[in-house]
Structure 1
Amino acid sequence: MIFTSEEKQFAVALKSIARNLEIKEYIQQSPELYPLFQRSAKRFVTGESKEDGVAIGNQLINKGYRISLEFIGENTVSREKCIQAKNEFLKLIQECGERGLNTRISFDLSHIGLAVDSELAFQNLLEMAKEAHDNGLSLMISAEESNKTEQVLSVYKRAVARYTNIGVTLQAQLYRSLDDLRELLNYSSAIRLVKGAFQEPSDICIPRSEKLDERYIELVDLCVEAEHTVSIASHDEAIYKQVIEHGYLKNPYVEAEMLYGIRPDLCKQLKVDGLPVRVYLTYGSEWYLYLTHRIAEYPPNIYVAITDMIQGSEDTSVLY
């Protein structure tokens, strides 16, 4: 998916705004702006409670989709709040287990302790992995900014040595990811491949371009050649065209994965064609950063966001 120069500039600006805490706090505290942004967020976030995520997740499972569920949050700098987040994930895992929902639980390590202390994140991850194992579920560690990548992979490697139901996400845009993937293929747990939504220094990442698309496919090729469980987490039709032409999605260890509210039409078409599709669902009150990233990833979404602010968004689940 190639953007115009104007769209690229807009995406860069929006990613900068997303990380500006003053702007975030201003919007959250504004009685005029907060409801407007919340309307837009409803297209991409199931709601603010665990019950919202589980309910829509159940609907999608009944329609034939696989799902991932995440309690939104990252860069949590309070030990107490990290433990609260971990406990919320434990409740989510338990409820999914009790309901028999075959879901993947996704999360940022910085939500459960990485921004405070890597050992806290490790211990919280082990507790979540055990609970997920006992309930027959899997976990997926999300990608974060490049300055955390080494820590994320370090914690993952320690934890996966004890629990193989933990997967990890790699960003194709980072030059290092090719070497990282070659090492991770030695582990048996799932790998999730994304292009990358973060604004990174130009000397360590590939910009949105044909070169990035080629790198993404190269990473997919390596996973398939190794017969390694992989989620092709993209909304790019050009990527899926190549993947389908190669017959990759017919392998039992390969699946498509897309974020809730992004390209439900493509999700539906792939499912109708008999291909495995996972929908990534989120819930929680920390939706501001998530919303801005969704728009930055695909700048034309700004028109949808503005329309939703004015008219309110439709029930996204019916689009699937």
Structure 2
Amino acid sequence: MQTPEELEAALALKSIARNISLKSSLQQMPKVYSALWPAARRFVTGETRQDAIDTARTLAAQGYSTSLECIGENTATEQACQDAMSEFLALSQAIETASLAGSATLSLDLSHIGLSVSRELALENLQRLAQDTRARGISMMLGMEESEKIPAILEVYTQVAEQHQHMGITLQAHLYRTPDDLAMLLRLPGKIRLVKGAFQEPAERAMQRGEELNLRFLALAQKLVEAQHSLWLATHDQQLLQECERRGILSSPHTEVEMLYGVRSDLLKQTKQAGQQTRLYLPYGLEWYLYLCHRLAEYPPNIYRALADCVQPSRTEQIVNDYL
């Protein structure tokens, strides 16, 4: 559980991440942008699609599966959504060309390709991307966003997932509504990625980090295993993973452990060496400001590491080697 000071820092970082004017100012200050990039590079494979593909290829050779995503969300215009779609279609093709279709999943947030404009646009674009990835033999994973978006996300997802079994979705254990959402989603074949939940939510909608949340996470995971449903355990909590192992959740053939690139590489490597199916989430792109703030908010002491990374950029040049 975070200390009061860490919780305050986390809330501040999440607020900073959502400050559009600050983000715009940062992007217009090349010296500041380049100074912060080494800190972001600890968690981001690079600024280009090829950076992510090269990292995925290296990791696949070591037996890791991967989830690739071009960072972005809350895209506000139809043209920007179409630009994002062009990138995801190019990513789909790049995964196939690199012979990674069997190990790499294409991941995205629905607000990146249209949900912030209209549900109709989001549905149209998700269907198009689902058709393209299915033709190439590439699985998809839809991210989950703030709670006010969830009804729209689930509506669009269910319409597409009924036709495309290669698509999965993320659920956040900290939301009080999640058990009901899981009961509904178990009727669909798509994988479920289970996370604790990273977004700042009102107290009436979500529980705080702590023992209660851990028990909720375990209960949801257990329900998925009992249903013999494909499950991605997306967590860096070593004690939680140990409890999952004790309860037989990890031994299920339908369970996979996923972690974020640059976070607890030692634990994921150890998990893979123990024979567990493992996966790394590999983000890339120019929109890394928000992503970096979220990573620091999850564990505020990482701010010290980020400062060190900025002063000594060589520290983050080859993060992928930590997994080899």
TM-score normalised to the size of structure 2?
A: 0.97
1:48 matched to which residue of 2?
A: 47
Match of 2:73, SS?
coil
Paired residue secondary structure (1:251): coil
| Other structure's SS at 2:250 match | helix
**Partner residue of 2:113?**
112
Name the structure 2 match of 1:180: 181
Distance 1:214 1:34 in 2: 40
Per the alignment, residue 27 of structure 1 pairs with 26
Q: CA deviation at 1:245?
A: 1.3
CA positional deviation for 1:43: 0.6
Alpha-carbon distance in structure 2 between the residues aligned to 1:130 and 1:23: 37
TM-score (structure 1 length as normaliser): 0.98
The answer for the alignment partner of 1:220 in structure 2 is 221
Q: CA deviation at 1:182?
A: 1.1
1:259 paired with 2:263, answer no
The 5 Å alignment of 1:1-320 reads 2-101=1-100, 102=102, 103-312=104-313, 313-314=315-316, 315-320=318-323
CA distance in 2, matches of 1:133, 1:152: 20
Q: Is residue 57–residue 98 contact of structure 2 (8 Å, CA) maintained in 1?
A: no
Question: CA separation in 1, counterparts of 2:84 and 2:69?
Answer: 11
- Structure 1 counterpart SS, 2:76: coil
What SS does the corresponding residue of 1:106 show, helix, strand or coil?
strand
Structure 1 residue 251 displacement after superposition = 1.7
Displacement after TM superposition at 1:169 (Å): 0.5
Contact preservation (8 Å) 2:53, 2:98: no
- Of 281-290 and 81-90, more deviation after overlay is shown by 81-90
For 1:162 and 1:120, the matched residues in 2 are separated by 18
Amino acid at match of 1:317: V
Contact 2:73 2:110 in 1 (8 A): yes
Structure 1 SS opposite 2:87: helix
Offset from partner CA, 1:14-64 (integer Å, 9 cap, x none): 111110112212222223321121111111111111100000000001011
Structure 1 residue matching 2:245: 3-state secondary structure: helix
**Partner SS state of residue 189, structure 1:** coil
For each residue in 1:48-98, what CA deviation from the matched residue of structure 2 results, as whole angstroms up to 9, or x when unmatched?
A: 111000000000010110100001110001101101111111111112112
Any idea what the Cα deviations from partners look like across 1:286-313, whole Å, max 9, x if unmatched?
0000000011111121111111111113
C-alpha separation in 2, matches of 1:134 and 1:283: 24
Partner Cα separation in structure 2 for residue 174 and residue 24 of structure 1: 28
Following superposition, the deviation at residue 234 of structure 1 comes to 0.6
d(CA) in 2 for partners of 1:69 and 1:239?
Answer: 25
CA distance in 1, matches of 2:10, 2:215: 21
SS of 1:296 mapped into structure 2: helix
Task: Provide the aligned length of Structure 1 versus Structure 2.
Answer: 319
Instruction: Tell me, in whole angstroms, the C-alpha distance in 2 between the residues paired with 1:176 and 1:262.
Output: 28
Alpha-carbon contact 2:235-2:258 (below 8 Å) kept:
yes
Matches of 2:186 and 2:67, distance apart in 1: 22
Partner SS for 2:30: coil
User: Which runs of 5 or more residues in structure 1 are unaligned?
Assistant: none
In structure 2, what is the Cα distance between the partners aligned to 1:154 and 1:290? 26
User: Counterpart amino acid of 1:242?
Assistant: E
Q: Which runs of 5+ in 2 are unaligned?
A: none
